[in-house]
Amino acid sequence: MKKSLIPIALACASISLLPSFSSAEDTLHWSYAGHEGPEYWGSLSPEFQTCKTGKNQSPIDIESAIESALPELTFLYTKAATEALNNGHTVQVNFPAGNTLVIEELTYELKQFHFHTPSENKLEGQSFPLEAHFVHADAEGNLAVVAQFFHEGDANVALTDLLKNVPDETNPTITISHALEAKTLLNTDNGYYRFSGSLTTPPCTEGVQWLVMKEPMTASAEQISQLGEAMHQPNSRPTQPLNDRVVLK
């Protein structure tokens, strides 16, 4: 896959879930329910108009993916996270510099990962109880998001320390007792799906490269419930029309 095949043009100021960047989210309130919920995002502010008018929006229902010789994803994660926060929309784990994703000659740095319950993306109509989004940015601010599904099953060891003291509105920023390595929450054994999409939160900026792992991981019912309670609500945007996009696998 050559660089020209990755249509990403996202300015750093538009990255809504990275706390080190400014965005319209800082001053404009939105939610996952009621009159500030997803169906109204595009009307809440001119800055959010793409949520309503965009043609390459995320999440999607991954159906009829086309077989393709996708390049290998090289995860060079060497720095563990020690900080987690609850930003009112999700539980988010921030990472220091030094963790990179390489796709052929393109290098993206891991900034953070966060959770959605239930999953935002679907697979052939199937929803999962939990999904994690690993947000990467290159030097120009272009984004690549790696998505990992979780189904209910055995407890996830990597989540155990995070959930011992999960951040909430009374303690929004915590120090993780044992440093968390991002690679322990990714299953890269069976390939991935790729498509062009958007941020799944306002301002819904397009031009984000999505890489969805095919193989789910497990988390216990208790772990999924604990994350859901910390976020106080389902925090998933409904799936969006695929339009003319192609999903590769």
Going by pLDDT thresholds of 50, 70 and 90, the confidence category of residue 27 is: low
Residue 115: name the closest of 243, 227, 247, 248 by CA.
Answer: 227
Domain boundaries, given as residue ranges, for the chain: 3-24+52-231
- Rounded CA-CA distance 66/246 in Å is 8
Kindly tell me if the per-residue pLDDT of 225 is higher than 50.
yes
The β-bridge relationship of strands 143-152 and 217-219 is parallel
Angle at 140 between CA 174 and CA 242, to 5 degrees: 85
- Rounded CA-CA distance 192/227 in Å is 25
Whole-number average pLDDT of the chain: 89
Q: Which of 89, 116, 133, 136 is catalytic?
A: 89
Cβ atoms within 10 Å of 52's Cβ, excluding its own = 14
Where are the strands (E) in 78-199, listed by range?
81-86, 91-94, 99-103, 106-116, 122-123, 130-137, 143-152, 173-180, 192-198
pLDDT of residue 181: 93
- Tens digits of per-residue pLDDT, 112-165? 999 999 999 999 999 999 999 999 999 999 999 999 999 999 999 999 988 988
- Tens digits of per-residue pLDDT, 155-199? 999 999 889 888 988 889 999 888 899 999 999 999 999 999 999
Concerning whether 89 is annotated as a catalytic residue, the answer is: yes
**Does the CA dihedral 123-134-102-5 come out positive or negative?**
positive
pLDDT of residue 178: 83
The β-bridge relationship of strands 81-86 and 106-116 is unpaired
Phi-psi sector, 183: left (phi>0), alpha (psi -120 to 50), beta: alpha
- The pTM of the full predicted model, rounded to 2 decimals, is 0.89
What percent of the chain is predicted at pLDDT more than 90? 79
End-to-end CA distance of the chain: 13
Contact in structure between 151 and 129 (CB atoms under 8 Å): yes
Segment holding 208, helix H or strand E: strand 206-213
- Rounded CA-CA distance 226/243 in Å is 36
CATH superfamily, domain 3-24+52-231, is: Alpha carbonic anhydrase (3.10.200.10)
Contact in structure between 165 and 180 (CB atoms under 8 Å): no
The one-letter amino acid at 23: S
